[in-house]
């Protein structure tokens, strides 16, 4: 593959496809935190974009160095994404029910902010299947692989910012039910990633 308009279009479309999981998770996070500030939105979208950059590059490096190990690891990708997202989604639902009184709780509070640890886990879970992109861009040289990954990251960042804004607006109207809805969205994304990867 040489530098061309097709290269940039392919990278852009690849970015849209890979960003869909991060977009959905961002929507759930926006629902869960309707008073999120713009700087925090940039941080969250930036983390997803960073992982969407790192995973294809890691995949490209693996293809060019330790192909056999990477191929063996690839079958575990859907299981990892499923477990991580189901855990996070289940935790969100549990905490929401706990605060609403359906599960006894000692203290009641408003919306829970997404912790740094959970944000990193979400970033990994929504981008781990992008490791496989290392195979599709294997013919690129290092600079082209870097550029493609950068485009994927930029597209992810833009889509996640939009999703966070939409989620925030909807979260203000849904009030407490937003956290439960967000949890279910995360679980469904985990199942979707799992099924998609198992049938390929």
Confidence of residue 160 (pLDDT cuts 50, 70, 90): very high
Q: Which two tokens stand for residue 111?
A: 């919306």
Tell me how far the alpha carbon of residue 83 is from its chain's centroid: 14
Q: Which two tokens stand for residue 115?
A: 């912790």
Question: Angle between the 116-127 and 38-65 helix axes, to the nearest 10 degrees?
Answer: 40
Give residue-wise pLDDT tens across range 110-144.
456 778 888 898 888 888 778 777 777 878 899 99
CA atoms within 13 A on the CB side of 181: 20
Residues 167 and 41: their CA atoms lie apart, in Å, by 11
Q: Which two tokens stand for residue 2?
A: 């040489």
> Tokens 């290092």 appear where?
142
Q: Which has more confidence, 86 or 42?
A: 42
Q: Are 133 and 55 in contact (CB under 8 A)?
A: yes
Question: Angle between the 142-174 and 177-199 helix axes, to the nearest 10 degrees?
Answer: 150
């Amino acid at each position: 593959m040489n530098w061309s308009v097709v290269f940039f279009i392919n990278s852009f479309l690849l970015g849209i496809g890979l960003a869909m999981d991060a977009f959905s998770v961002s929507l759930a996070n926006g629902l869960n935190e309707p008073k999120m500030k713009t700087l925090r939105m940039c941080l969250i979208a930036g983390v997803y974009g960073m992982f969407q950059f790192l995973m294809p590059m890691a995949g490209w490096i693996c293809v060019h160095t330790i192909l056999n190990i990477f191929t063996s690891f690839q079958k575990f990708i859907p299981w990892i994404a499923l477990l991580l997202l189901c855990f996070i989604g289940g935790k969100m639902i549990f905490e929401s029910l706990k605060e609403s009184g359906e599960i006894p709780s000692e203290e009641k509070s408003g919306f829970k902010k997404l912790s740094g640890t959970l944000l990193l886990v979400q970033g990994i879970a929504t981008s781990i299947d992008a490791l496989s992109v290392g195979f599709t861009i294997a013919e690129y040289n290092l600079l082209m692989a870097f550029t493609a990954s950068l485009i994927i990251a930029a597209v992810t960042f833009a889509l996640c910012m939009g999703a966070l804004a939409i989620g925030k607006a909807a979260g203000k109207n849904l009030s407490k039910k937003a956290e439960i809805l967000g949890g279910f969205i995360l679980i469904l994304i985990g199942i979707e990633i799992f099924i998609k990867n198992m049938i390929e």
